[in-house]
Amino acid sequence: MNAPRDQYEPGDPRTRYPDVEPEPQTQAEPGLQSDMRPVPDLGESTYRGTGRLAGRKALITGADSGIGGAVAIAFAREGADIALAYLPEEQPDADHVIEQIRAAGRTAVPIPGDLRDRAHAHTLVEQAVDGLGGIDALVSGAGKQRWQPEVTDLSDEQFEATFDVNVFALFRLVKAALPHLQPGSTITTTASMEAYQPAPDRLDYAASKGAVNNLSKGLAQALVERGIRVNVVAPGPTWTVLQPSGGVDPESLPEFGSSESPMGRAAQPAELAPAYVFLASHESSYVAGETLNVNGGMVTP
């Protein structure tokens, strides 16, 4: 079936979005969503805002595509202005999301750069503050994932790079943002189902997402005294550019998500965005240190 008219349309969750069953395909990392077949659904035609984030000023990493792109579109349609962080190579995808944000009548501040650059976190936050007039919502959506069939194929360099993007860059970004975050601000990070059920061919990715989950819960306790809420979204299998750009075995793509999730299919990024909207909205004012699992029914501890 086709995608729903909007996120509020009722229906069978198993068939709400089609099972993508993508053909084997590969791209050089970081890859472009626009070159994927099929192209992931970011909610461009379906996400309907209701003013839940009116006046918010959000900095979103990985905002060019996938979950980060879907979150950026949803936030804009809910009334937020957006600073988008992404790699320069991802500009074509970022242009599409920027167009969606501006079509919603909101401000889009593009800030390309590499999160592995230690100085970039400070520059990124300062440019976001300058472009938006402040920030009060931080969403960490950028991530690195590479599959390796054997443990002996997993190099020190890959392990370090994965943690640098997924964990250390997050830590640096939070530290840089804190002086600008006032009571009522939110930080939302992105873990993964792999934090609980690590895939043997993605050991570094799974370990890094476990670290993100733990770091976020510690930050939640440290920052709640300032009136800043920190929460986590842990996606299950979601069709994004991470998969064809080396994130999983290309030959496994036709079954991606269908054999893992009880829903029998992978998620589309559009299905993850409402979780981030909820955690950044004031309606979740008593939610802090929570991991919201959006994984199609996969059991977590």
Distance between CA atoms of residues 193 and 87, nearest Å: 25
First to last CA, the chain: 33
CATH superfamily of 54-294: NAD(P)-binding Rossmann-like Domain (3.40.50.720)
Distance between CA atoms of residues 138 and 178, nearest Å: 10
Give me the chain's average pLDDT, please. 96
pLDDT in tens, 87-136: 999 999 999 999 999 999 999 999 999 999 999 999 999 999 999 999 99
Q: Is the pLDDT of residue 63 over 90?
A: yes
Q: Is the pLDDT of residue 3 over 90?
A: no
Q: According to the model, what pLDDT value does residue 257 have?
A: 86
Q: What single string gives the DSSP state of each residue in the chain?
A: -PPPSSTT----TTTSS----PPP----TT--GGGSSSPP--STTT----STTTT-EEEEETTTSHHHHHHHHHHHHTT-EEEEEE-GGGHHHHHHHHHHHHHTT--EEEEE--TTSTTHHHHHHHHHHHHHTS--EEEE--------SSGGG--HHHHHHHHIIIIIHHHHHHHHHGGGPPTT-EEEEE--GGGTS--TT-HHHHHHHHHHHHHHHHHHHHHGGGT-EEEEEEE-SB-STTIIIIIS-GGGGGGTTTTTSTTSSPBPHHHHHHHHHHHHSGGGTT--S-EEEESSS----
Give percent of the chain with pLDDT exceeding 90.
96
The residues that are catalytic are 205
pLDDT in tens, 250-278: 999 999 988 889 999 999 999 999 999 99
pLDDT in tens, 137-173: 999 999 999 999 999 999 999 999 999 999 999 999 9
Q: According to the model, what pLDDT value does residue 259 have?
A: 81
* pTM higher than 0.95: yes
